[in-house]
Structure 1
Amino acid sequence: MSLELAGGVEQRLSDSAYVERVYRAGSVAGPVAARMRSVANSNWELVVWCDRGETHVSVRGPETGPTVLELGPGAGETLGIIFSHGAFLAPMPVPALVDTVVSSPHTTARSFVLQGEEWEIPGYDNAEVFVDRLVRAGLLVRDPLVTDVLRGDGTALVTPRSVQRRVVAATGLTQGAIRQIERARQAVLLVQQGMPLIEVAQSAGYHDQPHLARSLTRFTGRTASELRRGDGDEMLSLLYKTDVEVRP
């Protein structure tokens, strides 16, 4: 596993086939932004956070557009488990979670309720233990075909219609929507690294710079110049390179 520290967020890869990444924020010293801009995201995640001494747990579905969250002065540490494409909660279909947040009906500092059962709140270092328990309980399942398809691997034994149906069932999004979102997220990373926009467009698989500009506005709510310049009062949600094949 690798550890990274960026933008006040500590994150790591996971060796679980069900987990894309684990992150935590609020435990790293540094200036606190007034708000967070959540960039469109094709994965769903489980989020645990503290606000004014109270613990909250939510399942956050894929997001097809940007949202802005005001960060109050009482906000504490946040933990997130980002699940891999193809992994989903069997009793909670992902298509119904798109652009939606479902909160646990009851939480304490140590436990929360999910699907009528009480679970111990996971930590940054033992998130995979929690995930394994979900798998053993039959709540968390995985369609490996979806992971392979989005990585660009062949699916000669499955019809295109069947592939599309399984991708939507497991992710809540079409292959096209996932690739568009992931392309935009990768473009943001390149823009922030200072790469010339014409090279960003070529590297991320856009037709031209206007195509790139429209995508950034749609999925981040910011222009390339605004993303490059940054905003001291606003932080972007977690961005990272994925294995999704984004080129057409």
Structure 2
Amino acid sequence: MAVESEHRASDSPHVACVWRGRASGFETMTSVATSTWELVFWEDRGVMHASVRGPETAASAVELAGDSESLGITFAHGTVMPHLPRLVDSAAESPHVTDRTFVLGGREWPIPDFDDAEALVARLVREGVISRDPLVDEVVWGGIARVGARSVQRRVAAATGLTQGAIRRIERAREAALLLGGGLAPLEVVHRLGYYDQPHLARSLQRFIGRTATRLQQGPGTMSLLYKTEPPAGS
């Protein structure tokens, strides 16, 4: 199995990153947990697909078969599609997809390229298919809200389907995996990221990343795209 992927940052406040990937052969890939949702396009054996995928609260196994290419727009916390329910651990596939277009919110849209994904997002925003609650993004990244704690909890849950605590646990595990993959010792990761101890780190990695610290240090194998999350532009 050969899996190639890359991602880039975005200057849109609605977008966390844009990524693309290519796979060939047959293998089981580990899909790591993520606290964001995304719009994904992929070609599988000559057929195009499009889907809105919600946050994933645990690592899972995904079967890869044959050759495929994919493109994804990962949205910033607080960006939502009001016409869809919060798709935690689930997805909503487009009802009609061609080589160049897909249907979302009852309308047809062009499938974007890696370099112009923001143009599609801007159109979706103008047409009301996408909206954003900037408070959610702010509090996720440690900002102080000017509303009460219960209001914050409701708005975070409404936008993401997750609690603030769940988002932070997922993001911390993702950062831990990157640090371990970069050669940092597990005990140093524990201290840097605020885990209680190494068993606490181990449980978090197993649940959200599907790998042990040792495996991540040796080379994680076939995994979904794992990148360092940062506050999007304009936040």
Which TM-score bucket, shorter chain as reference? over 0.9
Aligned-pair CA distance for 1:215: 0.5
- 1:149 corresponds to: 139
Q: Which residue of 1 aligns with 2:34?
A: 41
Matched, 1:241 2:228: yes
User: How far off is 1:113 after superposition?
Assistant: 0.9
**What secondary structure, in the 3-state scheme, does the structure 2 residue paired with 1:235 have?**
coil
Aligned residues: 229
Q: Kindly, what percent of the aligned residue pairs are identical?
A: 55
Q: Give the secondary-structure state (helix, strand or coil) at the position aligned to 1:243.
A: coil
* Aligned partner (choices 97, 105, 112) of residue 115 of structure 1: 105
Q: Verify the 8 A CA contact 1:63 1:99 in the aligned structure 2.
A: yes
Alignment partner of 1:14 is 2:3: no
Match of 1:124 in 2: 114
Q: Which residue number in structure 2 is paired with residue 66 of structure 1?
A: 59
How far apart in 2 are the matches of 1:141 and 1:20?
14
Match of 2:83 among 55, 68, 91: 91
Equivalent AA in structure 2 for residue 42 of structure 1: S
Q: CA deviation at 1:175?
A: 0.1
Deviates more, 1:175-184 or 1:195-204: 195-204
1:170 maps to what in 2?
159
Q: 2: distance between equivalents of 1:52 and 1:179?
A: 37
Give 1:4's aligned residue: none
Structure 1, unmatched stretches of 5+, are 1-6
Which secondary structure does the structure 1 equivalent of 2:199 belong to?
helix
| Letter paired with 1:78 | S
How far the C-alpha of 1:239 sits from its partner, in A, is 1.3
1:136: which partner in 2? 126
After superposition, what is the alpha-carbon deviation per residue over 1:153-207, rounded to whole angstroms, capped at 9, x for unaligned? 111x200000010000011100000000000000000111111110011112211
1:90-139 deviation per Cα after TM superposition (whole angstroms, max 9, x unaligned): 11132xx0000111111110011112111111110110000001000001
State the partner residue of 1:199. 188
Scaled by the length of structure 2, the TM-score of the pair is: 0.93
User: Residue 228 of structure 1: CA displacement?
Assistant: 2.3
Counterpart AA for 1:67: S
Would the aligned equivalents of 1:42 and 1:63 in 2 still touch at CA under 8 Å? Answer: yes
Structure with the greater relative contact order (CA < 8 A, sep ≥ 6): 1 or 2? Answer: 2
Q: Which amino acid aligns with 1:62?
A: P
Structure 2 CA distance for aligned equivalents of residues 32 and 212 of structure 1: 33
**1:154-233 counterparts in 2 under 5 A?**
154-155=144-145, 157-230=146-219
Give the match's secondary structure for 2:228.
Answer: coil
Q: How far apart, in 2, do the equivalents of 1:43 and 1:139 lie? A: 17
Asked if structure 2 preserves the Cα contact closer than 8 Å seen for 1:33 and 1:235, the reply is no
Task: Describe the SS at the equivalent of 1:26.
Answer: strand
The equivalent of 1:81 in structure 2 is 73
- Alpha-carbon distance in 2 for matches of 1:76, 1:215: 31
How many Å apart are 1:88 and its aligned residue?
0.5
Once residues 210 and 22 of structure 2 are traced to their aligned partners in structure 1, the CA distance between those partners, rounded to angstroms, is 24
Matched AA of 2:56: E
For 2:133 and 2:11, how far apart are their aligned partners in 1?
17
